[in-house]
């Protein structure tokens, strides 16, 4: 049997999880002519015109776009996005200050999670289904699978079960992966999950007179040092506002009046935009949700199974790279398939060796970026370093590269970006120290060689008193 690639049909690949990474993976394997089956727990959402659910915004960066481009669906997805040019920082006084992401022309694209799932199901699954050796199975929840035989058992919502085998199982079934449970039974498998002490709560900012209530092409941030709120635009001209805060702070607010008092103290400019009644209603609609970071290694068992996306590396959302890292997993795996001529016994170990340090690095960066977003952006030193880094990048584009640029606008490996970031920070800090020391020594030398007239520097006490009294009465 031949697929539309003209290749002889190959081993059977079972993709467990038909979400963002799973749907994309189906396209990658289908293009190679593999016999692909996708198993998704949820019902077929392609049947709905509009997907109901939470509106979580995701940023599509260069890494994600490269993966989508490889399977021919980049433009279809990008056309549905909202370009984001910069962060917009909101102070307590209501002052707004933009901080560009990178140089001119470098933007991120934002999507609503439920809509992006919808588009990937439509375009990604449709792309995969152009190959006769691809099948989609919805309402199939993985119950267990065998390392020795590749036999998988799925349960449907009506209680019925289905068993099937595959030569390669690709686990793309999220942070609480059922596929990964089998890995926990293996020796020398490292696994950790960390719940951060902060939760999140989503609020809705409705349009005003049919238009966005704020400028839409920005990631709006209200940094308050130990917590923060962000707002991101949706395609229906609403904003999804997300409040990130320690759980114990959420628990202190128990009444509608306390909600308004809290927002008047920390986010006063948002009250007229969200509305008092909406604030009171949305705050108690759902409890604050937890955020988990998952690390594990290796990502494979022999040549039988491999983990990708959140199943391998769930990250907190503060760098906007969770989806992009998952998409890049597909790209990296595909590149290694070329490198080893699709020999799975060589591809899977190499994938783990290459990808684990990068995914661990972006997990750590996501944790760090929360501190930057909620606190560092308030610092004059942070803003100075941003402008200095951008200036040095302009003067030495191949030597000094801002971390955000490396992570978001290139495919520099995550762990290499972190290493380069640390190196250039040392170089810049030493340069600043030497410059400051040189200026102090130079100034001291000039003062010694040309001492000022001290009498001219002394202000008579009477004049000082008069100026103080003038300030007091003004």
Is 296 found in the same domain as 202?
A: yes
Can you give the residue range of the structural domain that contains 231?
Answer: 12-367
Is position 350 within any domain? yes
Question: Cα(312)–Cα(175) distance, rounded to whole angstroms?
Answer: 8
Is 193 found in the same domain as 95?
A: yes
pLDDT of residue 382: 79
Find tokens 């200026």 and name the residue: 439
Is position 418 within any domain? yes
Is 409 found in the same domain as 270?
A: no
Looking at residues 104-128, what average pLDDT do you find?
Answer: 67
Total count of domains within the chain: 2
Is 70 exceeded by the pLDDT of residue 54? no
pLDDT of residue 372: 80
CATH (domain of 335): 3.50.50.60
Is 437 found in the same domain as 293?
A: no
Is 404 found in the same domain as 290?
A: no
Lowest mean pLDDT among 162-171, 291-300, 384-393: 384-393
Find tokens 């020398």 and name the residue: 188
Looking at residues 367-372, what average pLDDT do you find?
Answer: 86
Is position 280 within any domain? yes
Is position 126 within any domain? yes
Is 118 found in the same domain as 60?
A: yes
- pTM for the structure as a whole: 0.85
Is position 458 within any domain? no
Is 348 found in the same domain as 425?
A: no
Is position 1 within any domain? no
Is 261 found in the same domain as 215?
A: yes
Is position 345 within any domain? yes
pLDDT of residue 3: 43
pLDDT of residue 112: 63
Is 385 found in the same domain as 296?
A: no
Strands 218-223 and 305-307 come out as: unpaired
Largest CA distance in the chain: 102
At 185, list the tokens: 């039974």
How far out from the chain centre does Cα 16 lie?
22
Residue 159 CB partners (closer than 8 Å, separation 6+): none
pLDDT of residue 443: 74
Is 199 found in the same domain as 64?
A: yes
Looking at residues 419-436, what average pLDDT do you find?
Answer: 87
Is position 260 within any domain? yes
Is 339 found in the same domain as 312?
A: yes
Is 237 found in the same domain as 110?
A: yes
Mean of all residue pLDDT scores within the chain: 86
Is 90 exceeded by the pLDDT of residue 231? yes
pLDDT bin (cut points 50, 70, 90) of residue 340 is very high
């Amino acid at each position: 049997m031949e697929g539309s690639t003209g290749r002889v049909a190959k081993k059977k690949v079972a993709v467990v999880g038909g979400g963002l990474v799973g749907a994309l993976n189906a396209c990658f394997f289908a293009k190679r002519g593999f016999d692909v089956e996708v198993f998704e727990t949820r019902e077929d959402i392609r049947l709905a015109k509009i997907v109901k659910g939470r509106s979580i915004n995701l940023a599509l960066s260069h890494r994600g776009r490269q993966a989508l481009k490889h399977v021919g669906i980049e433009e279809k997805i990008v056309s549905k996005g909202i370009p984001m040019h910069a962060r917009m920082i909101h102070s307590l006084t209501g002052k707004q200050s933009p901080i560009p992401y990178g140089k001119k022309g470098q933007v991120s694209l934002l999507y609503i999670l439920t809509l992006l799932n919808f588009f990937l199901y439509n375009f990604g699954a449709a792309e995969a289904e152009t190959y006769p050796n691809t099948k989609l199975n919805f309402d199939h929840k993985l119950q267990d699978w065998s390392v020795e035989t590749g036999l998988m058992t799925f349960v449907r919502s009506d209680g019925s079960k289905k068993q099937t085998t595959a030569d390669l199982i690709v686990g793309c079934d999220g942070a609480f992966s059922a596929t990964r449970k089998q890995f926990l039974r293996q020796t020398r498998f490292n696994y950790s999950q960390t719940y951060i002490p902060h939760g999140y709560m989503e609020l809705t900012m409705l349009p005003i007179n049919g238009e966005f209530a704020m400028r839409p092409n920005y990631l709006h941030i209200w940094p308050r040092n130990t917590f923060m709120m962000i707002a991101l635009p949706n395609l229906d001209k609403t904003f999804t506002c997300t409040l990130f805060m320690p759980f114990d702070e959420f628990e202190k607010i128990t009444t509608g009046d306390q909600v308004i008092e809290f927002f008047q103290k920390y986010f006063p400019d948002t009250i007229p935009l969200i509305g008092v009644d909406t604030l009171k209603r949305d705050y108690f609609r759902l409890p604050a949700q937890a955020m988990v970071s998952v690390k594990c290694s290796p990502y494979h068992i022999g040549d039988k199974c491999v983990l990708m996306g959140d199943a391998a590396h769930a990250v907190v959302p503060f760098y906007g790279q969770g989806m992009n890292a998952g998409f890049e997993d597909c790209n990296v795996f595909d590149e290694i398939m070329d490198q080893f001529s699709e020999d799975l016994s060589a591809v899977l170990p190499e994938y783990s060796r290459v990808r684990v340090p990068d995914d661990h690095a972006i997990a750590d960066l996501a944790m760090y970026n929360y501190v930057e977003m909620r606190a560092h952006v308030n610092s004059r030193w942070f803003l100075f370093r941003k402008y200095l880094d951008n200036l040095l990048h302009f003067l030495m584009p191949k030597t000094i590269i801002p971390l955000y640029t490396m992570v978001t606008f290139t495919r520099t490996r995550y762990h290499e970006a972190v290493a380069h970031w640390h190196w250039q920070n040392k170089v810049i800090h030493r340069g600043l120290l030497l410059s400051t020391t040189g200026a102090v020594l130079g100034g001291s030398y000039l003062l010694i060689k040309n001492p000022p007239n001290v009498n001219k520097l002394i202000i008579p006490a009477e004049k000082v008193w008069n100026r103080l009294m003038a300030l007091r009465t003004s």
